[in-house]
Amino acid sequence: MDKNRIEGAADKAKGNIKEAAGKMTGDSKLTAEGKMDKARGAVKNAVGGVKDAMRGRH
């Protein structure tokens, strides 16, 4: 498994926590940060998936 996939999963988890905390406290900045972290995690996960796929072809 590529390190980008691991980092992506961690970013998504962190984003979920931030977003939930922001919604609970009414902190729109924290909610937005959470959404950004989730998006960053999704991108890293996708990059890692492509790298894993490329390794499998060689």
Whether 22 contacts 28, CB under 8 Å: yes
Write the single-letter amino acid at 1.
M
Examine the pLDDT at 57 and tell me if it is beyond 80. no
Which band of pLDDT confidence, cut at 50, 70 and 90, is reported for residue 2?
A: confident
| Nearest in space to 6 (alpha carbons), one of 50, 37, 41 | 41
- The pair of structure tokens assigned to 51 is 């790298």
CA end-to-end span of the chain: 15
The whole model's pTM is what?
A: 0.84
Share of residues in the chain with pLDDT > 90 (%): 84
